[in-house]
Amino acid sequence: MSLKEIFCQDRAIAVLQRALAAGKVPHAYIFAGAEGVGKFKTAREWSKLLLCKNPVVEKKEKTDSAEFADSCGLCQSCRLFEADSHPDFNTVYKELIQFTKDNKGRKTPVDLPIDVIREFLIDKVSTRPTLSDRKIFVASEAEKLNTASQNCLLKVLEEPPEYCCIILLCTRLEKLLPTTKSRCQIIRFGPIAEEKIIEKLKEMGIKQKQAQYFARLAQGSLGPPCQWAQLELAGTNLYETKRKLVSSLSTYEFADALQLAGWLLDERKKIAEAWAEVDKTTSKTDINRRAAKTLLQIIISALHDAMMTRLAETESIVNFDQEEQIEKLAGRFDAERLAEKIADAYKAIRWLESNVNEKLVFEQLLLNLTTHPSSIVYRPSLHATAGNWDRTDRHT
């Protein structure tokens, strides 16, 4: 792969190219944008170019940048890079925690801990590059850097060695401290057009209707729909699961909620199993979370569509293939209640991210999504185990 082959991020790449052509490559970047829009791929290809011994420069006309530089793909640096063994290219991610001195065997944490930043970035920065002129660090999920990690990183961001280049990949800029942001050049990665995503999924072998649904569900990201497509091609029937789920949402009653939650959990397990086969580099905990999040995203999209139907704005609903069910769902709640339920579903995603037992999260959400006029609210205690409920009467 090369920089030229990055999908639909021409504007971000043009910003990078202009700085390179002017000889002003910064020591620290933040690549900011939604999950799956190509931040990591661009960071990889950009690093490969910065490390390349013999970059190829093309003169361009009528584009955003006058020159387009790319890695040669042939030099020793490029070959080592392609083999994932370039000594001057480092990736930093939270799963590395288990390889730090004091945390052997520790489970993947929710945040990007200071021990990882210290041992895999700060400690390595001070030694000079061995093969190329630069030494590059790409940190994934920078939005999960906690305050201690960011303060630790600040030391390098304030006085980086001249050969050093740090790229922070970030989905939520507001999570980074102003001091971190002010020391980095921010490169924004925009959403990818729906028709481009559909085209790509169809090339992979996905049918039009499924491709359009996955593209709309992903809202401008390419990474997740490509993974869903791979799951689909591996026989997981994620699309069928979504059809059943949306149908159920429009009809189920309070008494069916726990059964539906049980079914959802089984589906989550099936999806995660297949996902682990498709993506072998992500930790099991993260795969499970990602599968559960996908199911919650499906629920949120249905609720959102129902709200848009209520407001008579159905043009770009995600579940265009299940209009009838969406109308039924819209008939169950008014717009205000739907907005509350969407907020509940986002809360459920936050619970999943903080490791709350997912069975409880599903049960709680589905109990609250019915039309049952109950005065009872079920609320799982944080970090609860199965069966540990807080049952409170709303009016007491």
Interface residues with Zn ion (CB under 5 A) are: 52, 71-72, 75, 78
Toward Zn ion, which CB reaches closer, 3 or 226?
3
Toward Zn ion, which CB reaches closer, 15 or 75?
75
Helices marked H in the chain — which ranges? 10-21, 39-51, 76-82, 114-117, 123-125, 147-158, 178-182, 194-204, 208-218, 223-233, 238-251, 257-278, 284-310, 323-332, 335-353, 358-368
What's the burial of 154, exposed, middle or buried (CB within 10 Å: 0-12/13-18/19+)? middle
Distance between CA atoms of 276 and 285, rounded to whole angstroms?
Answer: 10
Q: How far is CA 34 from CA 37, 141, 319, in A?
A: 6, 11, 21
Toward Zn ion, which CB reaches closer, 67 or 256?
67
Toward Zn ion, which CB reaches closer, 78 or 136?
78
Query: How near is the Cβ of 59 to Zn ion at its closest, in Å?
Result: 19
Ramachandran angles phi, psi of 242, nearest 5° = -65, -40
Query: How near is the Cβ of 44 to Zn ion at its closest, in Å?
Result: 14
Tokens matching residue 379: 């609320």
Residues contacting residue 103 through CB under 8 Å, at least 6 positions apart:
97, 113, 115
Toward Zn ion, which CB reaches closer, 131 or 349?
131
Toward Zn ion, which CB reaches closer, 74 or 386?
74
Query: How near is the Cβ of 45 to Zn ion at its closest, in Å?
Result: 12
Toward Zn ion, which CB reaches closer, 3 or 192?
3
Type and span of the H or E element at 55? none
| Look-up of token digits 């199993």 | 273
Query: How near is the Cβ of 75 to Zn ion at its closest, in Å?
Result: 3
Toward Zn ion, which CB reaches closer, 81 or 228?
81
- Percent helix, strand and coil across the chain, each rounded to 5? 55, 10, 35
Query: How near is the Cβ of 80 to Zn ion at its closest, in Å?
Result: 10
Query: How near is the Cβ of 78 to Zn ion at its closest, in Å?
Result: 3
Toward Zn ion, which CB reaches closer, 78 or 117?
78
Query: How near is the Cβ of 77 to Zn ion at its closest, in Å?
Result: 5
**Among 363, 359, 395, 396, CA closest to 378:** 363
Neighbours of 274 (CB within 10 A): 20
Tokens matching residue 117: 């930043």
Query: How near is the Cβ of 4 to Zn ion at its closest, in Å?
Result: 14
Q: For residues 28 and 165, is the Cβ–Cβ distance under 8 A?
A: yes
Query: How near is the Cβ of 39 to Zn ion at its closest, in Å?
Result: 22
**Among 165, 186, 169, 187, CA closest to 12:** 187
Total residue length of the chain: 396
Distance between CA atoms of 374 and 116, rounded to whole angstroms?
Answer: 47
